[in-house]
Structure 1
Amino acid sequence: MQKALNDLESSEILSREQAALLRRIYGRELFSVHWELRLLLYGGILILTAGLGLLVAEHFASIGHLTLLAAIALGCVACFAYCLRHGGGFSPESLATPDAAYDYVLLLGCLLLGTLQGYLELRYQFLDQYWNWWLLASALIYLLCAHYFDNRLALSLGLSTLGAWLGVKTSHLGTGLWDGALRDSALFFGALVIAAGAAQTRLGWKRHFLPVHLHLGVNVLLTALVAGVGSRAAGSAYLAGLLLTGSGSAFYALRERSFAFLLYAVLYGYVGITIFMLDLGHWSSEGIIFYFLVSAVTLLTALVALHRRFGSA
């Protein structure tokens, strides 16, 4: 095994780091489970908060309102107190994480805060029909926590909650799920998220937050454009916007060597072009099956080839 690894490394099939990792595994030495532990922590936080939400929804009458409020509030305060004690304070630059649990304790505190706000509105209806302002307040608090504690999980939560608030505000206009008003709101939100990330990077403030802004903003933009391709009135305009945005995402992927943005461009572009072509004319069942067979095989082949090129680079 050692000889095989030496041969693979000398022929540059394996990099030095990959060969060293395989040698440690073969020799039964310790190796990192950093990302596995982070994934388990993240999943545990989500399961815990989901279970707490179900507990509040189903048993709040028997447990008692004040008891539930006090328990959730104490848990939230404890999480934020832990982060304030162990965190390094605000800085425009990236901060080192104090320990493995820090990010997830902050995420738990933010989710408990959201649960507390939802329970207060459910029980006391402070804002009545304007309850969506709780979403805006939550989004602003999450964004504040993200920038103060330098946490990208809280940033993702804040940006997605802000998008949810904008969607709820638009739905109150009496519009459907993917009609023009909601698509316009999604396009505005996606462009705003990308512009905010670019502005922060330009100003030298939290530059490491840019990927979070780009991933969310590009996905929202491309989703809204794909949803508009099927509209009869402006389908071609949405398709042109989709191809333009996808080209920008692909160019960024090639420049930054980030395969994810190339994947977004290819997959969303494929879905948009497929919708446009199927709406363009009358297709027989055999024609549709043939189209999907040929296009799917071509798409998978292209993605595998591009992924290999990115991996070798």
Structure 2
Amino acid sequence: MSMKKFEEAATKSLLEKEFITPEQYDQVQAYRNLNLFSLHTELKLFLYASVLLFTSGIGILIYQNIDSIGHIAILALLFLITFFCFYFCFKNAIGFKKQQTQFENPIFDYLILAAVLLSCIFVGYLQFQYTVFGTHYGLATVVPTVIAFFCAYYFDNKSILSIAITGLAAYIGLSVSPQSLLHNDFNENNTLSYSAISLGISLVIWAIYSSNNDLKKHFSLVFLTFALHIISIACINNLFDSYWGIFIILLAGSCYYFYRTSYLIKSVSLFVFTLIYAYIGLNIFLFKLLEFSNIDSELFISFFFLVPFYFIGSIIYFIRLIKQFNKKASHDTI
């Protein structure tokens, strides 16, 4: 079903349930027939890209001219830019509130994002060049992380919250991007696996606490998304360990929780990734069962002829589950 047909069906449903009058229904249809196009999302994307390009440009400028400019001059320039970004953001901020807030002018959302990124560069450069924290290299990660968490909650910014969680994960030795997570040495370092799972569970607990206490409850999806990826990838990597049985139980429990939660918060992204991780874990589990069952070689070979049908059926069932989820979520919303 296309988006236009879906919107028409949703509007008709509101009319049939008498949530809107026939006159209001006609007004909605007339407005949609104007085919107006909003540039709001595109402009925000360009603003976000400009912040990333600006901060990347600062890093390249430092790298290419470090000998000619001088360390003190670079740090002074970084400090001044960061200071003015923070100054204008604090001056125009509404202040901390437990509920969702926003700047009157959305450009300050990207200005505070630039300020946090520049502060990370500043602290990192300060530690790299002058080792202000001595051999306590973790402090160079903790300080920007604390700044990011404070700014995320004070200015109500999800992008900065993602930076803060990434910094927290980096402090315990994790790289949070999916590609980097797969390269973490979980199989040979059980402590890293336990740390990853503990961090994921902590994020889930904090998301539950925040929702129950109405503390930036709209941040819950960010916490849950990070938790899902961290816990699932840590468990999947350890399914090839001798203690794989424990991790398959953890993965099953995790997927079950996030499956139910995705319906509660109506998050299709959380739902899709939960299905993907559950499917990967299930296939590894089935392969291990075949490995330990000592099946006759001829019978084992015959299983391979069923593999294409298995994957085709899995794809069909996957699509069906997503359709059911979208139907359920849209029905609850209406």
Q: Which TM class, normalised by the smaller chain length? A: 0.7 to 0.9
Q: 1:271 aligns with which of 280, 301, 307?
A: 280
Q: 1:33 aligns with which of 32, 39, 43?
A: 39
Q: Show the counterpart of 2:211.
A: 201
Q: 2:126 aligns with which of 111, 120, 128?
A: 120
How much does 1:12 deviate? 7.5
Q: Is the 8 A contact 1:235 1:276 kept in 2?
A: no
* Distance 1:11-1:277 versus aligned 2 partners, 3 A rule: closer
AA partner of residue 111 (structure 1): L
* Distance 1:58-1:45 versus aligned 2 partners, 3 A rule: same
- Residue 155, structure 1, aligned to residue 161, structure 2: yes
Where does 1:157-196 land on structure 2 (aligned, <5 Å)?
A: 157-167=163-173, 176-178=185-187, 179-196=189-206
RMSD: 3.1
Matched residue SS, 1:167: coil
How much does 1:261 deviate? 2.0
Q: Show the counterpart of 1:234.
A: 243
CA distance in structure 2 between the partners assigned to 1:160 and 1:18 by the alignment: 43
Q: How many residues align structurally?
A: 297
CA distance in structure 2 between the partners assigned to 1:50 and 1:57 by the alignment: 11
Give the unaligned 5+ runs of structure 1.
170-174
Give the unaligned 5+ runs of structure 2.
15-24, 176-183, 292-296
Could you state the TM-score of these two structures normalised by the residue count of structure 1? 0.83
Q: Is the 8 A contact 1:143 1:158 kept in 2?
A: yes
How much does 1:65 deviate? 1.4
Q: 1:64 aligns with which of 65, 70, 86?
A: 70
- Residue 132, structure 1, aligned to residue 147, structure 2: no
CA distance in structure 2 between the partners assigned to 1:260 and 1:168 by the alignment: 23
Q: Is the 8 A contact 2:100 2:156 kept in 1?
A: yes
Q: Which moved more, 1:183-192 or 1:36-45?
A: 36-45
CA distance in structure 2 between the partners assigned to 1:14 and 1:44 by the alignment: 42
* Distance 1:145-1:235 versus aligned 2 partners, 3 A rule: same
* Distance 1:270-1:33 versus aligned 2 partners, 3 A rule: same
Q: Show the counterpart of 1:305.
A: 320
CA distance in structure 1 between the partners assigned to 2:276 and 2:285 by the alignment: 14
Matched residue SS, 1:131: coil
How much does 1:296 deviate? 3.8
What are the Cα deviations for residues 188-231 of structure 1, in whole angstroms up to 9, with x where unaligned?
10111111121122222222222221111222111211111121
Q: Is the 8 A contact 1:249 1:264 kept in 2?
A: no
AA partner of residue 81 (structure 2): G
Q: Show the counterpart of 2:271.
A: 262
What are the Cα deviations for residues 11-46 of structure 1, in whole angstroms up to 9, with x where unaligned?
989997996676233xxx4x2122222222222222
Q: Is the 8 A contact 1:103 1:153 kept in 2?
A: no
How much does 1:272 deviate? 1.8
AA partner of residue 264 (structure 1): F
What are the Cα deviations for residues 65-124 of structure 1, in whole angstroms up to 9, with x where unaligned?
122112211111111111111110111221133212121111110000000111111211
How much does 1:295 deviate? 4.4
Q: Is the 8 A contact 2:92 2:103 kept in 1?
A: no
Q: Show the counterpart of 1:54.
A: 60
Where does 1:3-18 land on structure 2 (aligned, <5 Å)?
A: 9=8
Q: Is the 8 A contact 1:132 1:168 kept in 2?
A: no
Q: Is the 8 A contact 2:102 2:155 kept in 1?
A: no
What are the Cα deviations for residues 138-158 of structure 1, in whole angstroms up to 9, with x where unaligned?
111111111111222211211
CA distance in structure 1 between the partners assigned to 2:303 and 2:9 by the alignment: 50
Aligned residues with identical type, % of pairs:
23
